[in-house]
Structure formats: structure tokens, C-alpha cells
């Protein structure tokens, strides 16, 4: 046994309103640079929908993730080492998405809006940020947001082809949900396994998957290797970039930017202990529908004295162990089993977990007096608007029972709390059926519904200051190789004023007036 610690995330889809705040704050923090315009380390997709890049879940097309070879051993779906050399895949990646599978980044020709007076109102046309050519926009990120384009995009969702439920795309019966996506920081990360240069790695101390910008040689195998298509290629630096799980913040015990800014408080971050020696074995489970449970078997009880002893021996520090004991991730994913990994059938052992959404069905059976007759919940969930098999194809490799069990639990918790706050009678013995009792139901409610900051984010400090000179590292995040990637020129007027010897107060009064900064 080799115990390692992993920082993971849980997203409560039940509460996601699809506002894209996470995507925008992430973009402003990390990918607001030339060459990175099309990168969305975090994006929010409407499901069912084509996704970003288009049809990323169609692994028969992109060949991402792992598969089992004829001997039942793990093998990258994009081809084993011999196959990659023999077929010259280093010269050309047949499975790599092209820019058009994402979108060609554009800006608008704002200058025309400020020209001399014309007869007709001027229009700012879209202009490519790569070539500078005018563009006729035919698509972009979230083009199918909130089911825009409905039936067309419905049919293009690879999950829709896998499920039995007869989906009616007409307005009255349509369903949708939001799926915020970021890098999964997998335990069995295929991008790391694909990287020929050894530039991609998992951090030993917290399992965050990073691209070493100094060692990346741009062979692009990570892009095909990642089934979630969350490794991007910077066309300007010719290197791969991906979600960093905001490691500089995590090191300080702060949540990622996406989690910090989430207005719905849907994101939870915490630590979890797992047995690194058994990862490959667990990923070799032959049955797709059992992969979820196989992944759960990797996680270790942080309160078990034996586990604590071994963890200390394997170099996990006490702060991390304490965080694992209070971890919201361990509680929701392992103990309560209400959170699920995204597409476990890719055999990547992803570490971003999702609580399936419940809301759309509540009205359906609440209208039938379900408070007085909780028996109604279970058939109700089986007939909910977002079909259980759709959720199962997203979150459990097709295992419907585990998804149902989670939904029953969430629904029962709601009914219990509803009855309690409205002073109605509730037979608490019913909680036992979903493995809850009054105490755990209340605390689960606090965790999910109240979601206090300190309950959501239990992140140990990394104590980087003990090994590195923080001042020397300041402002360096590995992207400094990119010449001309700085945004400073766009905000240069203030720098210029400072160079001209103006005082801070003068610059302030000149640039900040009328309540806004004027650059």
C-alpha cells in the first residue's frame, strides 16, 4: 500500500444555474492571453448538447482515455507505444481536435464605431484574433447554451445515443441541466501517461496535474489522451496548457477561482487519501458499470489509525490528514455516495465529482401530496424529467442503481427538512431506508443547502515557504516564455503616465472619474 493525498472537487449540479461566472473568472485569471483565447480551463455546458470541443464525449472519434487490451490490461485508446511509433503519430495526430472543433477566437472591429458620421449606423464586425480576417460567425463556445438549437444539438450529444429512454425534444417534455467542466485531475491521468516528454505530471503532495511549460515539446499526445479534452494547445507558444486547479491558491489553503466565485455555492474542495498502488488494478475492472464502485474502493478512511500510520510513513503530512478527516469530498463521494465521477468508463479515475441534479422532478410528485406519502418519491424519481439513464451515462458508466440511490437520498433529505421547517409530522424511520438518520440528514442539509464557506472548502496549507523563496517566485507561473503575451500594453496609459513622472494621486484623478476606470 502506498498512500497519497489528492485534492478533489465536488460540484452540486442540483444548484448550478448555468451563469458561467466560474468560466469567466477562470478565463480572466488564466487564459486571457494571446494564443490562449480559445482555452476554457473551466466551461459550463448545457446537457444534452454538443459540448466543448464539439462532441468531446464521442471517444470512438477522439480516442481519448483508456481501454482494456486483449489481455485485459490498461492501454491508451489512442494507441500503445509501438503503434504510435509505427504509424508516425508523432508527425501527425489523427485524433487531435482542430481549432474548428473549438472555435476560431474573434474580437470585434470596434474602431469602426468611432469613425466619422455616416448615413447608416456602423456595425462592429467579427474579426479573427489569429488572422485578423473578417469572420462570418457560425459557432462558438456555448453556441447551444440553454438548448439553443434544440433538436440539432440534442442529436449530437453522444450520451443521447447510449440511453434507452425515448427522449422527446419537443418543448413541453424537453429537459436540460448544466455541467460545469474543468480538468478532472485524474488518479490515472491519460494525459500524463501520453506525454512523451515527461512534461506532464501529478504533484506528489496534492495530485494536481500540471504541464511543465519548460519541458513541454508540443508533441500534442496529451490532447488526444485526455478524454475530457481539457488539455489545450497554445498556438502561439506551441505548448500544451491546462487547468492548474489554481495551484498557487490551493497551496495557500484558498479555493480555486472557479469555486471561490461560484455564486450558487455549488463547489466543494477537499482532500482525500487513496492507495496509489491499486489505481491501475482498479482501472482494469472489466465491467464499465462497476468502474465507479471500483474507484470508490481506492479511497481510504482517514480516521482509521492504520491508514493514518501508513499515510505518515508514506510522507503525507499531518495537516493533509486532518483535512482529509474533515473533507467534504470524502463525505459526499465515499460516505454518502451522492457524488459521482464524470464518465468513469474512460478509466481515468477522475477526481472532480458531481451530485446529480434533482430539482426538475420535485414538483412532479410533490403535487401528489408526497409529504404525507413519501412512498411516492421512489417511483417519482424513476420517472423524473432528466432520465436516470441519461445521468447514469454521464456519471456512473451506465449504473442506474447508484444514481437512483443518490437521488432518493437527496429527495428524502429534502422531505425531512421540509417537514421539519414547516412543522409537519415526519416518520423519521423512513430516513433509515436511504441510510440517513436525523443527525446525518441535518448535517447533509447544512453541507448542501447552507454550504458555509468553511464547510465547502477544507484545504490544507502547502507550506511552500519552507522550500521556496516566495519573493523570487512572485509573478511567475511558467508562462513567461511567451513573448508578447503580456496584456500590459493594453493598459499602458497608466504606466506611461507614471513614467512621465506623474504622481499616483494625479494618475488616479485622471483615470478614475465618473465611477469607472478610464484606460
Partner 1 sequence: MMAHPFQFLLWTFYPYLMLGSFFFGTIIRFAFFHPTVTAKSSEILEKKTLMIGSILFHVGIIGVFFGHIAGIFIPKAWTDALGISNEMYHMFALGAGGVFGIMATVGVYVLCFRRYHNHRVFHASSIGDLVIITALTIEITLGMSSSFIAGPMNPSFNYRTSLAIWVRQLFMFHPDFRLMLNVPLLYKCHVVFGLMIFGAFPYTRLVHALALPWQYIFRRFIVYRKKPQI
Helices (H), 372-486: 377-382, 388-395, 400-421, 438-445, 453-456, 470-473
Can you name the residues that pair with 6 across neighbouring β-strands? 272
> Which of 48/53 has CB closer to partner 1?
53
> Which of 133/155 has CB closer to partner 1?
133
Task: Return the SS3 of 130.
Answer: coil
Q: Please enumerate in sequence order all residues whose Cβ is within 8 A of that of 456, keeping only pairs 6 or more positions apart, or say none.
A: 255, 259, 265, 267, 268, 269, 328
DSSP 86-124: HTTTTT--TTPPPGGGS---EEE-GGGGGSS--SS----
Virtual torsion, Cα 115, 117, 118, 121, nearest 10 deg: 80
> Which of 176/276 has CB closer to partner 1?
276
Measured distance CA(370)–CA(476) in Å, rounded: 57
Candidate segments 43-51, 210-218, 358-366, 501-509, binder of partner 1 by CB under 8 A: 210-218
Q: Does 81 bind partner 1 (CB under 8 A)?
A: yes
Residues 216, 362, 402, 406: which binds partner 1 (CB under 8 A)? 216
> Which of 197/325 has CB closer to partner 1?
197
Q: Does 104 bind partner 1 (CB under 8 A)?
A: yes
Residues 60, 70, 71, 91: which binds partner 1 (CB under 8 A)? 91
> Which of 97/270 has CB closer to partner 1?
97
Q: Provide, rounded to whole angstroms, the least separation between the CB of residue 238 and partner 1.
A: 5
Residues 21, 29, 93, 440: which binds partner 1 (CB under 8 A)? 93
Q: Does 409 bind partner 1 (CB under 8 A)?
A: no
* Contact present, 400 and 392 (Cβ < 8 Å): yes
Residues 218, 401, 432, 503: which binds partner 1 (CB under 8 A)? 218
Candidate segments 6-14, 83-91, 113-121, 327-335, binder of partner 1 by CB under 8 A: 83-91
Residues 15, 77, 185, 202: which binds partner 1 (CB under 8 A)? 202
The grid cell for 463 is 507550506
Q: Please enumerate in sequence order all residues whose Cβ is within 8 A of that of 215, keeping only pairs 6 or more positions apart, or say none.
A: 197, 198, 199
Q: Does 465 bind partner 1 (CB under 8 A)?
A: no
Query: Quick one: three-class SS letters along 79-94?
Result: CCHHHHHHCCCCCCCC
Residues 70, 71, 88, 471: which binds partner 1 (CB under 8 A)? 88
> Which of 20/347 has CB closer to partner 1?
347
* Contact present, 185 and 7 (Cβ < 8 Å): yes
Site residues (CB under 8 A) for partner 1?
Answer: 4, 74, 81, 85, 88, 91-94, 96-99, 104, 128, 130-133, 188-189, 192-193, 195-198, 200-205, 213-220, 233, 235-239, 279-280, 464, 466-468, 481
Amino acid at each position: 500500500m502506498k498512500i497519497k493525498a489528492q485534492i478533489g472537487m465536488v460540484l452540486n449540479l442540483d444548484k448550478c444555474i448555468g451563469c458561467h461566472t466560474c468560466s469567466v473568472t477562470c478565463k480572466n485569471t488564466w487564459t486571457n492571453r494571446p494564443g490562449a483565447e480559445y482555452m476554457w480551463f473551466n466551461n459550463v455546458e448545457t446537457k444534452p448538447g454538443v459540448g466543448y470541443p464539439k462532441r468531446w464525449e464521442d471517444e470512438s472519434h477522439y480516442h481519448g482515455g483508456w481501454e482494456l487490451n486483449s489481455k485485459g490490461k490498461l492501454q491508451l485508446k489512442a494507441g500503445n507505444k509501438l503503434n504510435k511509433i509505427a504509424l508516425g503519430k508523432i508527425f501527425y495526430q489523427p485524433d487531435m481536435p482542430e481549432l474548428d472543433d473549438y472555435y476560431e477566437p474573434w474580437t470585434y472591429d470596434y474602431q469602426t464605431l468611432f469613425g466619422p458620421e455616416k448615413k447608416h449606423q456602423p456595425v462592429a464586425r467579427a474579426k479573427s484574433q489569429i488572422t485578423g480576417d473578417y469572420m462570418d460567425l457560425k459557432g462558438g463556445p456555448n453556441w447551444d447554451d440553454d438548448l439553443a438549437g434544440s433538436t440539432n444539438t440534442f442529436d449530437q450529444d453522444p450520451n443521447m445515443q447510449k440511453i434507452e429512454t425515448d427522449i422527446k425534444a419537443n418543448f413541453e417534455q424537453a429537459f436540460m441541466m448544466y455541467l460545469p467542466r474543468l480538468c478532472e485531475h485524474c488518479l490515472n491521468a491519460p494525459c500524463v501517461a501520453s506525454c512523451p516528454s515527461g512534461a506532464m505530471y501529478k504533484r506528489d503532495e496534492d495530485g494536481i496535474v500540471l504541464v511543465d511549460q519548460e519541458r513541454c515539446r508540443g508533441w500534442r499526445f496529451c490532447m488526444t489522451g485526455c478524454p475530457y479534452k481539457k488539455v489545450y494547445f497554445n498556438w502561439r507558444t506551441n505548448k500544451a496548457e491546462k487547468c492548474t486547479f489554481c495551484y498557487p491558491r490551493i497551496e495557500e489553503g484558498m479555493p480555486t477561482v472557479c469555486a471561490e466565485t461560484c455564486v450558487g455555492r455549488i463547489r466543494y474542495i477537499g482532500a482525500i487519501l487513496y492507495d496509489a498502488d491499486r489505481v491501475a488494478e482498479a482501472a482494469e475492472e472489466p465491467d464499465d458499470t462497476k468502474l465507479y464502485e471500483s474507484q470508490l474502493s481506492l479511497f481510504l478512511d482517514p480516521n482509521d489509525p492504520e491508514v493514518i500510520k501508513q499515510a505518515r510513513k508514506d510522507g503525507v503530512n499531518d495537516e493533509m490528514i486532518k483535512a482529509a478527516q474533515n473533507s467534504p469530498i470524502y463525505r459526499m463521494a465515499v460516505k454518502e455516495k451522492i457524488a459521482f465521477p464524470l464518465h468513469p468508463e474512460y478509466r481515468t479515475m477522475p477526481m472532480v465529482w458531481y451530485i446529480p441534479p434533482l430539482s426538475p422532478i420535485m414538483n412532479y410528485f410533490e403535487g401528489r401530496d408526497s409529504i404525507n406519502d413519501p412512498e411516492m418519491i421512489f417511483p417519482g424519481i424513476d420517472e423524473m424529467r432528466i432520465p436516470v439513464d441519461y445521468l447514469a451515462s454521464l456519471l456512473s458508466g451506465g449504473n442506474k442503481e447508484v444514481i437512483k440511490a443518490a437521488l432518493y437520498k437527496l429527495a428524502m433529505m429534502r422531505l425531512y427538512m421540509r417537514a421539519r421547517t414547516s412543522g409537519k409530522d415526519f416518520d423519521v424511520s423512513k430516513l433509515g431506508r436511504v441510510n440517513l438518520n436525523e443527525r446525518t440528514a441535518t448535517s447533509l442539509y447544512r453541507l448542501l443547502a447552507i454550504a458555509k464557506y468553511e464547510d465547502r472548502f477544507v484545504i490544507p496549507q502547502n507550506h511552500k515557504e519552507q522550500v521556496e523563496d516566495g519573493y523570487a517566485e512572485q509573478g511567475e507561473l511558467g508562462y513567461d516564455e511567451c513573448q508578447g503575451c503580456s496584456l500590459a500594453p493594453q493598459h499602458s496609459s497608466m504606466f506611461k503616465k507614471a513614467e512621465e513622472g506623474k504622481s499616483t494621486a494625479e494618475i488616479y484623478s485622471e483615470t478614475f472619474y465618473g465611477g469607472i476606470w478610464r484606460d
